[in-house]
Structure 1
Amino acid sequence: MVVPKEMRCLLHLTGCLKESHFNTPDESTETAVNEIFDSLNSKINEKLDLNFFVRNASGDRCLVSQCFNSVQKLSEEFIDTLKSQVLLGLPLIEVDVAIRFISQISNDDEIKLQAPVLTEKVTPDQTTFHQFEFPIDMLEILSCEAITADKLKQMLITHVEMQRNFQLQFQNGQTGKKSEDVLVPVYPYHFDLSPMQSNKTSSDDKSLYLRIVTEILPVKVKESDQLALKVRENLHEMYGIEKNRPVFRKQNAIKFKPIFSTQLIFDESTTPPPKATATSTVGNYQADSVCETVKGKYAYFHYLQEGMSDSGWGCAYRSLQTVWSWFLLQGYTDKPVITHKEIQQTLHKIGDKPASFVGSSQWIGSFEVSYVLDHHLDITSAFINVQSGDQIVSNAQRIASHFKNHGTPIMVGGGVLAHTICGICYEEDAIESTVKYLILDPHYTGAEELKNIKKKQVYAWKPQSFWKSDSFYNLCLPQKPNIF
């Protein structure tokens, strides 16, 4: 059995290249950079013994020439596991580059590692000896037919040139403060810019309009560092993207392993707008109706996940975790979603709860949710407070405005069980009779299966009658920070 050549796929090529260089005291860093990369390209073209291996989900490998050659027959098991790897709606082909090259590097104990890319030694004549490791990480959409050793070699050369150009930008001060190092520690990151495109197709196949770009970013620096900020600013300007949300932070990069191993991930496409109920014709809401939802992805946290026995008291904790996941998945933070115990410890630390609260099964509400978001993520929240569920509809326009301008999930607490609002739809001339809310219910205790979740109506559009008229509600509306 062979891999179908006509199959479109994502090719992920990874590996590491090494290079050494003697830097004399009178040599400019720009000259040193060019000499390093010239030597590296020369080795790729002439001296290095390059072998490219396809790796399947089970860790088995085969040479590219064997995997994509119609003569070479491979086991069905290998091909099946290869096809089981999917990313962004396309089969993911993992390729490792193996390089055989005899290094001339000394084993002198005085050489010490300057992580992550540099080993250096200063000789008696003040000549500095450097050994560099260049991370190789490429992602490209192509057909299986195009995957050949020559194609991969050309991709490697292009990738090396990309790293050269980025290092020269550092040396010339184009990314802020001019670098005094020969090479700056960097790593390639991949970003899907298709959400920023306005010319998407009407097809359900999202892979048809994928736009993947690879950019070199500095490592070992905080996102708030001036260097990282300047690099992102340059990228936003280069691609014509507004500087009103994270796009090129490391947390925005394409993930080859999911952030969440248990929770399902939802977005605008998961649940379509509800059916009209009053003044509109049969079908979806009319064109002049209002329908706003959470902007972006969020994880569904609910009772009993990950071995936590929180049924009956942890609903607001779970709603907070869903809200936190939105900020994580949109790149506003790289902090992992907070746990129940960490939530309780935070509320005790800031003086909101006594020490006995930590480790208890006590409820929290929307105000506590806002305290935790503010303390850990520097996120402020607005509030809507109503004395009766009947009054929520009078805030429909404000809720819609929140989703349009901020796009974050809304946590609902109060005198009854907590919920999360993820969308709202209504017709302007008949809000009370047409309004529906997209509710994510943290009280669910079943399996992580979307079909079952929708069957149980724990992630569904609910009418105004969902809210109890004899209960008060506090709606926490987390505000999207103005950062990129």
Structure 2
Amino acid sequence: MVFVDSHPSYTGTILRVRGPLELKCRLDSTEVSQIQKVISGTFETLRSQVKSESCVLTVCDSPVVIWPNKGVKATPDEITPDTLCEEIHQWIQTDEQESFGKKSGKKKSKKGSAVSVINLRLMMEVSRPGPLPAPILSKTVQKSHFLSTTLPMDCVVETSCNSTIKDACERLVEALAHQLCEMEKVTLQHMKGTSLLVPEPFHFLLPEPAGLVTVVYPAGVPDSQLETQRKELHQQFELPDDRPYFRRANAYHFPNEPYRDGYLRNPHLVLTHPTLDDGKVYLVQGIYSYHHYMQDRMDDNGWGCAYRSLQTICSWFQQQGYVERPVPTHREIQQALVDVGDKQPSFVGSRQWIGSIEVQAVLNQLLGVTSKIMFVSQGSELASKGRELANHFLTEGTPVMIGGGVLAHTILGVAWSETTGQIRYLILDPHYTGAEDLQVITDKGWCGWKGPDFWDQTAYYNLCLPQRPKMT
């Protein structure tokens, strides 16, 4: 069910190998024990294949081909078993390259990408050099049931700066064989008659020392029916049982893969923390999407900032695995306020502002999430709220919506000194109207650290502090 990569430091390179393996077997009996025996034998054959000389790993977007079980034979010839894994980067084709077959120089990582990933493709040789034997045909007349499915293999190992290709290949082959064992367990456990549920691997980045682990789940079985399995994993890795770590929404997102929805995630990660005397930084925990004006073909410029802050908060609960529902639209937010009796039906479709109290009500109505409200009679008092905000990010770790007057913002963290009282706020500004350009957003301060003077010193503010549900 789970495979732990034994090198979770993530300062080197992650090797990720993916590819389909065909699971095909003929069932001549309907007895459960016989079916299981045949399926187990087929999985054993697949494990033998990934350990055989026919197993081939190709580095994506490059001319590099590796035979991991042939003494780590590779092409081009310059690549040897003792070549360092990180040197493979120079063969990977970048968008800027005009020719495919020559060294390209290492990829330049985008701002904020701290992890280097090399993608490999799992393949199997189907032919051998030399003369082919004469074909032999045989015919058998027999009633049988034929099972066929594609196994989506997906294994990762992390390498250090001095790891060789030989070391990495040994670990990759071991990981592939182990994943087949876990897929076999899941397949047999969730079989119904002769119907198979495809086993799907998911990667999860856990707190140290566990690091990156891989769990196999049966496709089509919702998270709500896998609670027992998740609780066992929590016990195995000594994780608290009051927050999710192994829901599908918690799966690790590889930095070289774009998000399909187009929203930026965690733009604050590229920022440098402010330096305060005897100060500490307290940040949002986990992943959120940046929602701001003019997204989703919705012109809410001038009135939708609190809606966007609420969407950012909802995205956090979705991507931490607490809820499965999509981030609500403006109209769904308005309808929720009508449903709870806070607004009249005419509110739906309007351009009316909402504030922290409405955000609290929507979170409870749509997500079942409770929130605390912090009232500040004037902006100058926010500078004295360092302890409360630090404690929130330390214990709950959720984004905070702050509304005052006609403006709403999202607070993602604070830098606070208990001894001097100095404070800085990490602000995500929903008033941004441009494209999803991380460089512009961070350079222009749409996501950035702000001082106490950022707030209107005489205006009142209400802060909505969402609370984590207790669940696995």
Q: Which moved more, 1:465-474 or 1:376-385?
A: 465-474
Aligned residue in 1 for 2:21: 16
Q: Does 1:295 align with 2:285?
A: yes
Matches within 5 A, 1:91-110: 91-97=117-123
**Aligned counterpart, 2:180:** 160
Q: What amino acid is aligned across from residue 238 of structure 1 in structure 2?
A: Q
Of 456, 459, 465, which aligns to 2:444? 456
Alpha-carbon distance in structure 2 between the residues aligned to 1:19 and 1:363 = 59
1:380 paired to 2:378: no
How far does the alpha carbon of each residue in 1:269-310 deviate from its partner, in whole angstroms, 9 at most, with x for none? 4434423xxxxxxxx331xx4542212233322222344322
Q: CA deviation at 1:246?
A: 1.8
Aligned to 2:220: 220
Given that 1:23 and 1:130 are in contact with CA atoms closer than 8 Å, whether structure 2 keeps it comes out as no
CA distance in 1, matches of 2:192, 2:265: 41
Who is 2:471 aligned against? Answer: 483
Q: Name 2:154's counterpart in structure 1.
A: 137
Q: Matched residues in 2 for 1:9 and 1:404: separation?
A: 30
Helix, strand or coil: the match of 1:445?
coil
Superposed displacement of residue 61, structure 1? 7.8
Distance (Å, rounded) in 1 between the aligned partners of 2:352 and 2:105: 46
Residue 304 of structure 1 is matched in structure 2 by: 294
Deviates more, 1:416-425 or 1:154-163: 154-163
Q: Distance in 1 between matches of 2:27 and 2:221?
A: 27
> 3-state SS of the aligned residue for 2:224?
coil
* Residue 231 of structure 1: how far off its partner (Å): 1.2
Q: RMSD of the TM alignment (CA)? A: 3.9
CA distance in 1, matches of 2:105, 2:199: 32
Residue segments in structure 2 that go unaligned for 5+ positions in a row: 1-11, 68-72, 80-90, 128-134
In 2, the alpha carbon distance for the partners of 1:305 and 1:217 equals 34
Match of 2:352 in 1: 362
3-state SS of 1:136 partner: strand
- AA of the residue aligned to 1:197: E
Q: How many residues align?
A: 420
Shift of 1:447: 4.6
Q: Which structure 1 residue ranges, 5 or more long, are not aligned?
A: 1-6, 107-122, 172-177, 199-209, 276-283
The 1:241/1:180 distance shift into structure 2, 3 A limit, reads farther
Letter in 2 for 1:186: P
In the alignment, the residues of structure 2 paired with residue 469 and residue 71 of structure 1 have an alpha-carbon distance, to the nearest angstrom, of 65
Does residue 249 (structure 1) correspond to residue 251 (structure 2)? The answer is: no
- Retained in 2: the 8 A contact 1:316–1:418? yes
> 1:473 is matched by which residue type in structure 2?
Y
- Say which SS state the counterpart of residue 43 (structure 2) adopts: helix
- Partner in structure 2 of residue 89 of structure 1: 115
- Structural mapping, 1:141-290, within 5 Å: 141-142=158-159, 145-146=165-166, 155-167=175-187, 170=189, 184-193=197-206, 196-197=207-208, 211-225=211-225, 228-256=226-254, 257-259=257-259, 262-266=262-266, 269-275=269-275, 284-286=276-278, 289=279
Q: 2: CA distance between counterparts of 1:474 and 1:450?
A: 29
Maintained 8 Å contact 1:416/1:471: no
Structure 2 length as normaliser, TM-score? 0.75
Q: What's 1:38 paired with? A: 44
Instruction: Look up the SS of the partner of 2:223 in the other structure.
Output: coil
**Which residue does the alignment assign to 1:204?**
none
The answer as to whether partners of 2:186 and 2:199 remain within 8 angstroms in 1 is no
Q: Within 2, Cα distance between the matches of 1:451 and 1:45? A: 45
How far did 1:33 drift? Answer: 4.3
Deviation at 1:313, TM superposition (A): 0.8
Q: Give the secondary structure class of the aligned counterpart of 1:332.
A: coil
Matched, 1:465 2:453: yes
CA contact (8 A) 2:57 2:65 kept: yes
Q: Deviations over 1:120-162 (max 9, x none)?
A: xxx98xx755334433222223567349999866654333223
Letter in 1 for 2:216: I
Instruction: State how far apart, in whole Å, the 2-side matches of 1:249 and 1:81 are.
Output: 38
Q: Is the 8 Å Cα contact of residues 223 and 249 (structure 1) preserved in structure 2? A: yes
| Aligned-partner SS, 2:325 | coil
Moved more, 68-77 or 7-16: 68-77
CA distance in 2, matches of 1:33, 1:321: 46
Matched residue type, 1:456: K
User: 1:262 and 1:90 mapped to 2: Cα distance?
Assistant: 21
User: What is the rounded CA distance, in whole Å, between the counterparts of 2:227 and 2:185 in structure 1?
Assistant: 19
Are 1:439 and 2:427 matched, yes or no?
Answer: yes
Taking structure 1 as reference, are residues 81 and 129 closer, same or farther at Cα in structure 2, changes over 3 Å only?
farther
